[in-house]
Each structure stands twice: as C-alpha cells, then as structure tokens.
Chain A
Amino acid sequence: MRSLYSEQRTWMHRVPAWAKLATLAACGAGLALTSRPLPLAAALLAVVLLLASLGEVALRQGRMLRGVLVGAGLIVAFHWMLGTPVLGAAAAMRLASAALLALALTLTTRFDDLLAVLERLLAPLRIFFGLPVDRIALGLGLVLRFAEDFHAQWRRLDDAHRARTGRGGGLRLLAPLTIRALMTAERVADALSARLGR
C-alpha cells in the first residue's frame, strides 16, 4: 500500500519532517485564533501559493483537493442560507488553509520520517506511562502488511460468491472476512509472542 507521499521531489521534500510538523501545528493554532476574514484570506492565498510552488505534485491530488473544496463549499452555502456569509467565508477559508497546508505536508514527507518524529515525541510517555512506542511502529507495519491481504481475501470471497450466485457478495462477505481476520490475529499473536517474548 502506497502512502500519499509523492516520490517526485520538490523543495519542500528537503525540509525536515519535524520542522514541517511544527510549522503546521503553529499555523493551525494561529488560524484557529483568527476570525477576521482579511487575515484568513491572506493566509489562504499564502497556502495556495505554497501548494502551487510544489508544481504538478500538488495538481495531481485531485481527490484530496476536491474534498477540501466540497467541505469549504458546504460551509459557505450553509452560512449563506442563514444570512451569516462573512462567518461562513471565514470558517471556510480557515478550513481550507489548514487542510491544504496539511496536504502539502503529507505530499512531501515520508511516512518513516513522520513516524520517527512521533516516536521521539512519544518517548517521554514511554518513560512515564509505559506506552509501548516500539510496538506502535510494529503495529503500523502489521496494518500495512495485512490490509492488502484482507482486501485480496475480500475479492476472492466476492469472486467465489459471484461464481455461485452470479451476483456480488456485498454485506454477506463481511462475516467470513472478519472471521478470517480474527483467525489470522490468533496466529500472528502466537508468532509475535514467540519472537517478542510476551
């Protein structure tokens, strides 16, 4: 399963992950504190220019961009109907700025780098609360490993159903798939405890 990270490198790829995360957090906080339309419009313009500077890497994200547009559009429409267009415009611009900035981060930052930053941030929690930070990374690896597996299982179950009844399985496949997932979990648990000791 591929992450949304773009292999095609841009200037933003060179910026370290922690710097981008910190900037996103700071900008997000700043955006949340502002309600006036003019500063928000300026922020949105800045973010759009930033995204545009990434070139076609950003342009190819039609699905994600459309999602942001739809969300913002719905907010504007709702507030227009209620007679508070300025409030709607402000909320929509704030949302779009934050979401597009987050998209820029997602496109230009590797999954592994983000995970490394996360592990660093969570380290104190491990020391004080016993949070199993290393197991979180292992868990994510397992998610990636088995997501494709289960999806392939679903397709096999669907094909088998189609062969028997001529129609897709749909909801009827959920129980068999879930059973297989849980059975796999038992086997994986045994394998893990053999490797990890507990």
Chain B
Amino acid sequence: MSRANAYDSRTLASVSLFAALMAALGLVPKIDLAFGVPITLQGMGAMLAGCLLGPRRAMLAIALFLLGVALGLPLLAGGRGGPGVFIGPTAGFLFGWVLGAGATGLVFRAVLRRLPDPTGWPLMAAAFAASVLGGIVVVYAAGVLGLAAVAHMPLHSAALSMAIFVPGDLVKCAVTAAVVHSVARGLPAWRLDRG
C-alpha cells in the first residue's frame, strides 16, 4: 500500500465514525445483565473495531478516540476525559484497547481466511475467538502491567484483582460476535476481510 493510499477517505471515514460510535456508546448508560451485573458498552469498542474494520483501521480508530480523550473531550464512559485518565491505575487498559483491537482484527481475519463459508455460526465463532484473544488476553495483559506499574503491585496481585471482570468481558465477546454476525447479514457489502 503506497503512502498516498494509507490514509485515504475510506480509512478516514471508517476510523473517525467508529471512534464516534465508541464515544456514543460511552454516553449510553450501563446495561444490566441477567444477574444485575452492569456492563459498559464502550468496552466492546476494541473487539468490535477489530472484527469490523480490520486490524489497521481498528487500531487507528481506538487511537483517534483516545487522542480525543487526551485533548479534553469527555468521551470515556462517565464523561471522563483529559490526559489525567491516562495516569490512573486502569490506564494500561486504555492502551490495551489499541493493541487488543489490532490483535482481534488479525485473529479474526486469519480465521476468516480459513473458513470455507464465512457466514453464520462459523463467523460468530471466529468473532468470539478473536474477541477473547484480542479483547481479553491482550487488553488484560496491558491493563495488568499498567496496574502493577502505577500501583506498585506485584504482577500476580494485579492480575488477581482484575480477574473478577473477566466473566463480564466474556459476555462482551459473545455480544460482539452476535453484532458482527448481524452486521454481516445486514450489510452484506461490508468487506470483513479487506481494507
């Protein structure tokens, strides 16, 4: 890809509008799941981006979103923003979102390429697996490292203290898979394997 095409209008539009979608999801109140566990929709942004935009544009979308946050826009769930949010104990997770989006995209596309028929249940399974690997493993790795660094915790303590959020995030992976499946059905022209 030549430099001239790397940031063309298509990229600019999909990256910016996905970042806008993430911002909008931050404005939506927390959703209560079956057992009264609340989840914020914004946390699915990285996984959704990875599957729907592919690794490169997904990372750009999350990065653009975080840039807006850093410049003072209250885009994070709860109306938070400014460079201060990149200093707290959970700052590692924010950086993890960028990496996780890329990882999700890479895994999703890799699996899609090997599927004889990338629709229906196999598509959902691919999206779920990609979301778990990118949205949980990579994101938590970054988040736990960040927590350990900021709070001066040993790694295993940091990891343990974050473990409680994993079940909720597994639900997010499932929701992401369902959304990706719906998008593939509702927008058959949207290329999940290219761009």
Contact = CB atoms under 8 A, between A and B. Distances in A.
Interface of A: 1-5, 24, 28, 63-64, 67-68, 71, 74-75, 78-79, 82, 87-88, 90-91, 95, 98-100, 102-103, 105-106, 109, 111, 114-115, 118, 130, 132, 135-136, 138-140, 142-151, 153-154, 170-171, 174-179, 181-186, 188-190, 192-193, 196, 198
Contacts of B19: 139, 143
A132 B7 contact: yes
Contact of A192 (B12, B18, B64, B67): B12
A109 B82 CA distance: 10
Contacts of A136: 64, 67
Nearest to B17: A185
B150 interface: yes
B17 A184 contact: yes
Interface of B: 3-10, 12-21, 23-25, 27-28, 31-32, 41, 44, 48, 52, 64-65, 67-68, 71-75, 78-90, 150-153, 157, 161, 175, 178-179, 182-183, 186-187, 190
Contact of A67 (B14, B88, B152): B88
B65 A175 contact: no
A115 to B, nearest CB: 6
A188 B79 CA distance: 27
A193 B9 contact: yes
A71 B24 CA distance: 25
29 contacts: A3-B74, A71-B88, A78-B153, A99-B88, A106-B72, A111-B72, A140-B64, A143-B20, A144-B68, A146-B21, A147-B20, A147-B24, A147-B27, A174-B25, A175-B183, A178-B48, A179-B187, A182-B14, A182-B183, A184-B17, A185-B13, A185-B14, A189-B10, A190-B9, A192-B13, A193-B8, A193-B9, A193-B10, A196-B9
Contacts of A24: 83
Nearest to B14: A185
A179 B186 CA distance: 7
B40 to A, nearest CB: 12
